[in-house]
């Protein structure tokens, strides 16, 4: 099974900051890496699929990159509604697996 590791586990930032999250796979997953945003008490929301494709209606301040085992999610200019927990998920092979999440908090 493929293990997904996210870093950091939490991050404090201010509105307007540029932030980057990292996700590492235990083996190569090509580009099959997806990012989700989850707010407290809500279901996850798909942001980015296949490493760099922006899901419909997701703001362009979100971007993703990476290939193989190392991936990043970047928010170019934080907005108040972006404070949430972010998860990566590999769709390269079954069983699909998620990272443990990075919680983005207001500084």
Q: What angle do CA 57, 23, 97 make, to 5 degrees?
A: 85
Using rule CB under 8 A, residue 1 touches other proteins:
yes
Region near other proteins per CB under 8 A, out of 13-21, 50-58, 59-67, 76-84: 50-58
What part of residues 3-32 is at the interface with other proteins (CB under 8 A)?
Answer: 30, 32
Q: How far is the CB of 89 from other proteins (least distance, A)?
A: 7
Using rule CB under 8 A, residue 66 touches other proteins:
no
- Other beta carbons within 10 Å of 22: 16
SS3 assignment, position 81: helix
Using rule CB under 8 A, residue 44 touches other proteins:
yes
Q: Give the CA diameter of the chain.
A: 38
Query: Which residue among 21, 34, 75, 82 contacts other proteins (CB under 8 A)?
Result: 34
Nearest partner of 13 among 75, 63, 100, judged by Cα: 75
């Amino acid at each position: 099974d493929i293990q997904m590791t996210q870093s950091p586990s939490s991050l404090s930032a201010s509105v307007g900051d540029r932030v980057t999250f990292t996700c590492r796979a235990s083996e190569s997953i090509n580009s099959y890496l997806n990012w989700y945003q989850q707010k407290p008490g809500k279901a996850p929301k798909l942001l980015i699929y296949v490493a760099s494709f922006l899901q419909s209606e997701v703001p362009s301040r979100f971007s993703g990159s990476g290939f193989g085992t190392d991936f990043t999610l970047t928010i170019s200019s934080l907005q108040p509604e972006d404070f949430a927990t972010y998860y990566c998920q590999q769709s390269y092979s079954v069983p699909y697996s998620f990272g443990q999440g990075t919680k983005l908090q207001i500084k």
